[in-house]
Homo-oligomer: A and B are copies of this chain.
Amino acid sequence: MASDAPPPLLDLTIDNITPNTNRINSQGDDARMKYLMTRLVTHLHDFARETRLSTEEWMTALNFLVACGQISSDEFILLSDILGLSLLVDSINHPKPPGATEGSVLGPFHTHDAPTLENGSKMAFDPKGDPIFCLCTVKDKEGNPIQGVKIDIWETDSTGHYDVQHAGRDEPSERCVMVSDAEGRFWFEGIKPVSYPIPHDGPVGKLLTKLNRHCWRPAHLHFMFGKEGWDNLITALYMRGDKYETTDAVFGVKQSLIVDYGTVDAEIAAKYGIKEGMTLLQHDFVLVTEEESAQLRDKNAVEALEKLGLRMKLVDHLPVPELD
């Protein structure tokens, strides 16, 4: 599409502001950017028109955004989480074929400074935490082990806080990176996850209160799997029976990710050099290849856009309008 001269912008009204804004925003050459901006502005304006948004409500919304930006760089992730957007974006981008481990929300507490630990290491040092032994595998859909997968693992301490939420954190705790072995295994000692409130001292917490919603997440352990050629898997395991199992403030729980504790038996104890009778968390994760994930994402996109009656083509796997 050639860049047209900008439209004359005069006498803009409730009824003509949207096409005019979209026209002046469409002078660039980036088709994807133009499509994103056009849909964003159209939805934003439709929202204001449908609700007859008052000046006071508009100002309240702007002040809310300012407060989010000022309290912490993570507040907008939290906002996205509690509005279901994070779950939605993850679902769009990491579709899972049957048999693959489902994804869950990343949340704002992943860091990039976790130490890479040997299999069998302890990754949680809170003395008040209940120790658990985690024994996991990572395989493909056909059951073949995947060696050399980098696995980020992170959880809260026994008080329900991630290390980064404590003032004066010197070094990472309750987080680590492990690498799967030739049998696709990785194992470590952690502590029993506990349910905890998401940060609620800021504008997002106030919004939840106004909506009569609680700010709790059920107990869970975060995992992120990465290896070249395999679709990045961000997920979590949720402990069955948690009080907040069906009301997670950030919509992350999936039935396939709810797990039960077991007990370390004599065989496992001997094999991994740990105490018999210890609480055991065992899980087998299943990854899909980057290629399969991309194909599935494209297929889902084409089907969804057709269903919406939109004439689109995919460029770099992302839809842009199909022009005549």
Contact = CB atoms under 8 A, between A and B. Distances in A.
A305 B319 CA distance: 31
Contacts of A52: 92, 297, 301, 304-305, 318-319
Given A9-B248, A84-B41, A251-B12, A76 B49 contact: no
A58 to B, nearest CB: 5
Interface string A186-210: 0000000000000000000000001
Interface string A246-277: 11100101110000000000000000000000
Contact of A40 (B41, B47, B319): B47
A176 interface: no
Given A76-B66, A211-B25, A88 B50 contact: no
B39 A50 contact: yes
A49 B304 contact: yes
B92 A80 contact: no
B14 A88 contact: yes
Contacts of A9: 246-248, 251, 253
Contacts of A20: 84, 251
A27 B213 contact: yes
Contact of A55 (B24, B90, B213, B310): B90
A47 B88 CA distance: 11
Interface stretch (A29-37, A115-123, A150-158): A29-37
A147 interface: no
Contacts of A3: 212
Contacts of A37: 211
**Chain A contact residues: over half helix, strand or loop, or mixed?**
helix
Given A58-B85, A210-B28, A305 B69 contact: no
A10 B253 contact: yes
Report, as a range, how many residues of chain A touch the other chain: 35 or more
Interface string A46-84: 111111111101100010011111100100110010011
A308 interface: yes
Contact of A212 (B28, B53, B301): B28
A91 interface: yes
A125 B84 CA distance: 53
A228 interface: no
B88 A24 contact: no
B70 A70 contact: yes
A17 interface: yes
A283 interface: no
29 contacts: A9-B248, A10-B254, A11-B253, A12-B87, A14-B92, A14-B300, A17-B91, A17-B251, A18-B84, A24-B247, A30-B210, A33-B210, A39-B47, A39-B50, A41-B83, A44-B83, A45-B85, A49-B308, A52-B304, A52-B305, A52-B319, A53-B89, A54-B89, A55-B93, A58-B80, A58-B89, A62-B77, A62-B80, A66-B69
- Across chains A and B, which 9 residue pairs bring their CB atoms closest together, nearest first? A69-B69, A21-B84, A8-B246, A27-B212, A43-B43, A28-B212, A62-B76, A58-B89, A52-B301
